[in-house]
């Protein structure tokens, strides 16, 4: 399967379990792996046979910068559902949602959640 990757998209959102996180917000990063057949796009040089990165970014931005959620798992799952719904040619989507500098005891560079969802019938 062919893949499109969007790496380290940066957003500011209000997700987290602690009230301060939902009030003050924080930075988030998103890595995406989109799995689809790019044979026709490659042979025709036609964007309509692929997925527009700018449109993907806007859809992810709306979710990450949108409604506050407590769990990163919920945010990442919303992204996969949105993308699989929006792009019929997309077979599978992996989202890595990264929270730099999480407000937890100890020294952490970041925490992340990775979720993979496939279109029904594709595994």
* Two structure tokens written together for 98: 């990264």
Catalytic residue among 10, 23, 62, 99: 99
State yes or no: is 99 an active-site residue. yes
Active site residue ranges = 99
């Amino acid at each position: 399967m062919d893949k499109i990757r969007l790496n380290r998209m940066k957003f500011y959102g209000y997700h987290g379990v602690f009230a301060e996180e939902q009030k003050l917000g924080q930075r988030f990063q998103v890595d995406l792996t989109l799995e689809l057949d790019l044979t026709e796009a490659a042979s025709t040089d036609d964007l309509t046979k692929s997925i527009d990165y700018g449109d993907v970014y806007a859809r992810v931005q709306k979710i990450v910068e949108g409604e506050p959620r407590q769990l990163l798992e919920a945010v990442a799952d919303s992204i996969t559902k949105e993308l699989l719904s929006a792009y019929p040619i997309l077979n599978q989507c992996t989202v890595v949602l990264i929270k730099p500098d999480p407000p937890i005891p100890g020294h952490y560079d970041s925490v992340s959640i990775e979720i993979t969802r496939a279109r029904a019938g594709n595994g």
